[in-house]
Structure 1
């Protein structure tokens, strides 16, 4: 693709001394096997240690993580909530400044079409987690009233609050921390200054280049990789249990470990192939296919399902989301049951924080040629709104069927059996078994889009280059599938324990994200000045 200069600024090709030298060094690093040896050793070492300790004493590992999870949620939950809230507010403030017109990577035209770009963002960031919880979470909040509301559970008055609470967990705040301010910082550092797309780069404005270029930077990168591995292996493993359960219920196939292994093998083959072929081939093709499938399922639900109920529920739910936004966002264990905050708001917010740096790398990589304003609005506004619509179609339908008695999910959801909830709601949708199979396929591909993007992002972190070798991408994709297979053999509880671990890793990762609250706007201003989008009012006027 031809690089076009930005009006009033310099093109990427106009800086050969910085960019080409950096790329040469990165090429050398990328060719060294699996990249930074310390990042690789710490990341793989964690995987091996977790598996070895689990084999040695399952209860010890699960208990230790549970204790750390509970302590982190109780002690730092409010800090995590404020980090997400401030990130969203600062990002929205940045959108309305002239500096937001600066373009990522100094390209006049985007590398990806708008549809492909938005498809990759939606499929990567919503991914298996959102699809996995879309049917069950709204129903859960319908039958167990969230602490921000005082409506009677299971009544029509509880519908708006149930959807609003789900929107809070999967809406503006979670999406904003995944790729708004941090993506701006990385875009500036990488495309304009020649620094690698690595989490350590986010701390360069604070700690300095010399410090983060050494072992400390490798430790920072490794912690962020570990957080993503913990957060990604969970959906991969839970998908295997969900699909095997679904195939057993729908088609009568065996639902044991053998079927789960087959599901993992198919899933791994899909996302490893996608990751190896790259952003411009496999990743975008898989994402676009998934979006078309999701749109088809959404159209069937909307047209043939409880249409008027869904329209009314969305209108009321989104209105409640906006009016109770700060109440829900700032609720703590002092004003809500500790167990509820721990397993809902804090868990989800910590999960998003753990993904934050690597998601930001991915967003910066696919957004070249977009303005800062476009990138932030796509990630922090458009995608969350699309997510709320999807949650209403799936979860709102579940609420309707629960309210009318068509399904009964109270006991399943109180035991957090979201795989049962998803399949039960899917079977009650128009099309019955066919729709349920389509939802299983959609969920599988959504998890695959997480697997391919995170395999790619982890490889970028290790190699320090935004075009890591196919070997590195395949390695990380395979290792996560193998880890899921081993942990499933021990029991689904170990998958859950690993997923809880991301709450603990959110502690150091949050410190990596924190400086973007002020370095994000600074990076945007620097980009805008260099591209001539804004003038420097601080420069002295010439003498008259």
Structure 2
């Protein structure tokens, strides 16, 4: 069935875009007021929704894995017999879209943070410095691993692909509710409009934050490497370059610009990984990855469902879960677009297993190199991290390598492209949400790139406090979005069973038709 033609949803367009603009305007007027309101809302969100988010992510991952290895795993999605995108191109787009700023700065800094201050679950285990490497990496694996990826494009993607490609309904966040409310969710539904609006606001906040931080982080890196003043002007120029790249990419479309940029960046990351393995502490990285992954799996349930230190959870695990959940519906839309022809098993294994393992290995290569030098020379990495933040940790790690300058430049380029691929993908999915089809008008795609860039620049002019407030606001917006992502836990398997029965019947009918044709001849 062909998707129904839909018109641009100007109400959702105006409310979501207006809300984001209003947030920035109020921040311009009184950033302290905004900061205090957001902080109070953030603390309330962490207190009352943290446990729910932990269970939601665990349930999404567990149900997805069970579904993938059941007989329903061979169901082919998107009414297409063969995949639309090759495996490397497909995985590249998934990796680049979801890793974003975590690809470099968090990969360098988070393992060191957890090494310096051991996560509370393992704080009383009396580990030596060498032994403390395992919980440090494992905690990073949890935050950027199986659960984080699963909530961004597995069960919700199955629901969306069935509703869009099988039933012809628009690709919108509200479509996730179609199995519950039927066609009513598309007919001037207040609930449907609310689902679309909160999803756009959440993912926009989650995108504008990394754009702003990118300007600050790359500004630090350029100053460290080339002596370029780390000023507001430099930061704005960096954001401008990112927006130009993202705008050209999104204007070219998913099949050209976005996939080209993704493949280019993954290739560059593979090259940097190979170089770091050769010139860095090779065996330490490999041994640490294997041991930390084993440690992670051994303590998986306890780490996933840990509820002990509420302050620590709010600063780390629950913050990340809120951030990633805010991306959930939009990423499910994007992955629906690029996954036509893939089976449920391929989808879930790629998103919930392959991508997390690649991400974990990357964290070990970057962060593990830092841990190696920190263990052997305490303060080498943690000192700069404490003084200058995450970008300082990246530069400190590169300083320990034989060709550190060249590697540092490479990492800055990769970071710029990582965030660009996120911005172009998010802008595309916002445009899809507003138009309801998977080939939205070019001007709408480019408009959202420009809006993200302009609002991020305004936040930069206010100061880092405004971007930090926006980062905390992401968690607040995740509350309604997380409620939207609950029904796929049972609707995903239900629709998988339905598609399985339909495809088995189609196969049976085809066999009978072929047999009839042979008998007639």
Of 366, 373, 382 in structure 2, the residue corresponding to residue 410 of structure 1 is: 382
Tell whether the 8 Å contact from 1:302 to 1:393 is kept in structure 2 after alignment: yes
Structure 2 partner of 1:6: none
Instruction: Provide closer, same or farther for how the CA distance between residues 387 and 103 of structure 1 changes in structure 2, counting only shifts above 3 A.
Output: same
Of 413, 417, 426 in structure 2, the residue corresponding to residue 441 of structure 1 is: 413
Of 148, 151, 156 in structure 2, the residue corresponding to residue 174 of structure 1 is: 148
Of 15, 36, 44 in structure 2, the residue corresponding to residue 71 of structure 1 is: 44
Tell whether the 8 Å contact from 1:136 to 1:421 is kept in structure 2 after alignment: yes
Structure 2 partner of 1:299: 274
Query: Which stretch shows the higher mean deviation, 399-408 or 286-295?
Result: 399-408
Q: Give, in whole Å, the separation in 1 of the partners of 2:328 and 2:39.
A: 22
Of 73, 82, 104 in structure 2, the residue corresponding to residue 131 of structure 1 is: 104
2:263 equivalent to 1:288: yes
Q: Give, in whole Å, the separation in 2 of the partners of 1:264 and 1:446.
A: 13
Structure 2 partner of 1:157: 131
2:214 equivalent to 1:239: yes
Of 202, 209, 230 in structure 2, the residue corresponding to residue 227 of structure 1 is: 202
Structure 1 partner of 2:476: 504
SS of structure 2 residue aligned to 1:283: helix
1:404 shift after superposition: 1.5
Of 321, 324, 329 in structure 1, the residue corresponding to residue 299 of structure 2 is: 324
Structure 1 partner of 2:90: 117
- Cα deviation per residue 1:44-64 (whole Å; 9 max; x = unaligned)? 111121011111111000111
1:251-290 equivalences under 5 Å are 251-290=226-265
2:70 equivalent to 1:97: yes
Tell whether the 8 Å contact from 1:427 to 1:435 is kept in structure 2 after alignment: no
Q: Give, in whole Å, the separation in 2 of the partners of 1:393 and 1:256.
A: 31
Gaps in structure 2 of 5+ consecutive residues: 509-521
1:4-83 equivalences under 5 Å are 15=1, 19=2, 22-23=3-4, 25-26=5-6, 29=7, 35-83=8-56
- Cα deviation per residue 1:204-254 (whole Å; 9 max; x = unaligned)? 212332144323212210100000000001111111111111111100111
Detail structure 1 runs of 4+ shifted over 6 Å in the superposition: 533-536
1:130 shift after superposition: 3.6
Of 493, 500, 507 in structure 2, the residue corresponding to residue 521 of structure 1 is: 493
Tell whether the 8 Å contact from 1:143 to 1:154 is kept in structure 2 after alignment: no
1:441 shift after superposition: 0.4
1:453 shift after superposition: 0.4
How many residue pairs match? The answer is: 506
Query: Which stretch shows the higher mean deviation, 147-156 or 293-302?
Result: 147-156
Q: Give, in whole Å, the separation in 2 of the partners of 1:123 and 1:211.
A: 32
User: Normalization by structure 2: what TM-score?
Assistant: 0.94
Tell whether the 8 Å contact from 1:234 to 1:484 is kept in structure 2 after alignment: yes
Tell whether the 8 Å contact from 1:143 to 1:153 is kept in structure 2 after alignment: no
Of 341, 353, 358 in structure 1, the residue corresponding to residue 325 of structure 2 is: 353
1:409 shift after superposition: 3.5
Q: Give, in whole Å, the separation in 2 of the partners of 1:204 and 1:154.
A: 53
Tell whether the 8 Å contact from 1:406 to 1:428 is kept in structure 2 after alignment: no
1:366-385 equivalences under 5 Å are 366-385=338-357
SS of structure 1 residue aligned to 2:84: coil
Q: Give, in whole Å, the separation in 1 of the partners of 2:82 and 2:121.
A: 45
1:428 shift after superposition: 2.2
Q: Give, in whole Å, the separation in 2 of the partners of 1:415 and 1:426.
A: 17
Tell whether the 8 Å contact from 1:426 to 1:439 is kept in structure 2 after alignment: no
Q: Give, in whole Å, the separation in 2 of the partners of 1:301 and 1:140.
A: 21
2:431 equivalent to 1:456: no
Instruction: Provide closer, same or farther for how the CA distance between residues 371 and 54 of structure 1 changes in structure 2, counting only shifts above 3 A.
Output: same
Query: Which stretch shows the higher mean deviation, 418-427 or 400-409?
Result: 400-409
2:168 equivalent to 1:194: yes
Q: Give, in whole Å, the separation in 1 of the partners of 2:241 and 2:432.
A: 24
Tell whether the 8 Å contact from 1:38 to 1:219 is kept in structure 2 after alignment: no
CA-atom RMSD, angstroms? 1.6
Q: Give, in whole Å, the separation in 1 of the partners of 2:395 and 2:158.
A: 39
- Cα deviation per residue 1:108-160 (whole Å; 9 max; x = unaligned)? 11111111011101111112234320000001111100012134577001011
1:303 shift after superposition: 1.2
Gaps in structure 1 of 5+ consecutive residues: 1-14, 30-34, 537-544
Structure 2 partner of 1:10: none
Tell whether the 8 Å contact from 1:286 to 1:445 is kept in structure 2 after alignment: yes
SS of structure 2 residue aligned to 1:354: helix
Instruction: Provide closer, same or farther for how the CA distance between residues 122 and 413 of structure 1 changes in structure 2, counting only shifts above 3 A.
Output: same
Structure 2 partner of 1:32: none
Of 303, 316, 334 in structure 2, the residue corresponding to residue 344 of structure 1 is: 316
Q: Give, in whole Å, the separation in 1 of the partners of 2:181 and 2:471.
A: 30
